[in-house]
Amino acid sequence: MTAGSRKAGPVSRIAAEATATMAEVRAGVDAVDRELVTLLAERMAYMDAAARIKPLRGQVRDEARKALVIANVRAHAAALGLDADLAEGLWEQLIEASIAHELQQWDRMRSQVAAQ
C-alpha cells in the first residue's frame, strides 16, 4: 500500500458456521487470506512511517512495545476464543518481520538522504 491509500473493505462471505460445502469453506478461507494480506500490507506501511519518524536506528527495536503488543494480542485472542499461545507465536514472527522491514527501510531512507 502506498501512503494515503485506503484498504479495501471486507469481502462478503458466508459465515463459517453457515457453510455447507468444502467449496464454500475454501472460498471463505480465500477471502480471509486476501483480507489478511491487505492488513499486513497496511501494517508494513506503518513500519515505513516508523522508519521515517524515528531519528535513531537503535529506536527501531523496542522490547517494551513488543511485550505490550503481544500482551494485547494474547488478551484479544483469548476474548475471541482463539488460542492465545497460537496468537502469540504468530505475532512474535510478525513483529520480528516488521522490525526487520523497518530496519531495512530506515537504512534505505538514510542512505538516500546521504547520497543527495
- Distance between CA atoms of residues 54 and 105, nearest Å: 11
User: What are the structural domains, with CATH classification, of the chain?
Assistant: 16-115 (1.20.59.10)
What crossing angle do the helices spanning 63-80 and 84-115 adopt, rounded to 10°? 140
pTM: 0.84
In the three-class reduction of DSSP (H, G, I as helix; E, B as strand; rest coil), residue 53 is classed as helix
pLDDT at res. 10 = 58
pLDDT at res. 13 = 87
Residues of the chain where predicted confidence (pLDDT) is lower than 50: 1-4
pLDDT digits (tens, 9 = 90+) for 60-84: 999 999 999 999 999 999 999 999 9
Q: Please give the full DSSP string across 6-43, using - where no structure is assigned.
A: -PPPPPP---GGG--SHHHHHHHHHHHHHHHHHHHHHH
pLDDT at res. 114 = 75
